[in-house]
Amino acid sequence: MTDTGASRRAEVREATGCTIGARDVSFDAYHGETFVIMGLSGSGKSTLLRCVARLSPLSRGSVILEGEDLTAMNEAELRAVRRAKLSMVFQHFGLFWHRRVIDNVAYGLEVQGIDRKTRHSKADEMLNLVGLEGCAGSYPHQLSGGMQQRVGLARALVVEPTVLFFDEPFSALDPLIRRDMQDELLRIRAGINGTVIFVTHDFDEAIKLGDRIAVMKDGEFDQVGTAAELIMNPATEYVEEFVKGVPRVKVLRVGDVVTELDGSTPQHGVPASESLETVLPLLVANTEDIAVLDEQNTAIGRIDRSAVTRLIRPQP
């Protein structure tokens, strides 16, 4: 659509009658990373996810997975990749209502031709992993919404995918269940390999789950970065509006407010990965400098108190 010369989505719609899904979007998602794509409804985030997952066609561009171009594959090759390396957790669960829970979870292994005993054994492991012990023989309609989404998560994990896609998987859940599922995903995420690409419209959810966040608007990325980078240095007014109400001391880490050591190493030290909120009492109780420590417990600087003061000052 950029061939029309139009620079905005509304201009393209007026000139062509078509709506841009996603354009000029390029990004790398790294092994072991949770990459979050977030934006308001209609921003193009789910369209982009479906293009990357090869569920929707691309008008141009490519999707590279472990050095292979998925857009250059024929249907048989792409089907093989989907079965072995890609998994999707949908917003509305997408379960087979006529199948028991264990057969829903084992479905990905079934289409791979894995024998029944082996796939059921693996499915049982996944059900235990997501906290659904004893539910193997139930049908989806016998489970709550949160439990159904856990079945969907177990089904996605059972094939040990290289990339796991989440399309607003928790948005249909009640707030308490949603938080439980976020915590559950964080717990499971620590023990699995591969990359997670997660779509959400909730910035709090993006901050909680994402290693990096891409803020999307009108089919394009406004900014990509860590939560700290988005909060400390928003690139556009749109991003700034998103982060305005975020309690920054809850999001930022000690490493985000580090400055050079001034003289000898301070007596007190805290890890760079520590939440800024948790060290505020220590800053109040001690007027002396506090060292910032790396993973080897070596001082890499000191906490910049003036930066902390600016962060906790009420935002206009």
Per-position DSSP letters for 5-38, written without gaps between them? ---SHHHHHHHHS---S--S------TT-EEEEE
- Predicted confidence (pLDDT) at residue 316 exceeds the cutoff of 70: no
Over the stretch 279-296, which tens digit does the pLDDT of each residue have?
888 888 888 888 999 888
Its pTM stands at 0.82
Mean pLDDT over the full length of the chain: 87
* Residue corresponding to tokens 């929707």: 56
47, containing H or E segment: helix 45-52
Which pairs count as long-range contacts for 133-142, CB under 8 Å and 24+ apart, including other chains?
Answer: 135/101, 136/100, 136/101, 136/102, 137/100, 137/101, 137/102, 138/100, 138/101, 139/97, 139/98, 139/99, 139/100, 139/101, 140/93, 140/95, 140/96, 140/97, 140/99, 140/101, 140/104, 141/97
Give pLDDT, residue 9.
67
- Predicted confidence (pLDDT) at residue 136 exceeds the cutoff of 90: yes
Which DSSP state fits 275?
B
- Predicted confidence (pLDDT) at residue 313 exceeds the cutoff of 80: no
178, containing H or E segment: helix 175-189
- Predicted confidence (pLDDT) at residue 163 exceeds the cutoff of 50: yes
- Predicted confidence (pLDDT) at residue 43 exceeds the cutoff of 70: yes
Q: What are phi and psi of 65, to 5 degrees?
A: -125, 115
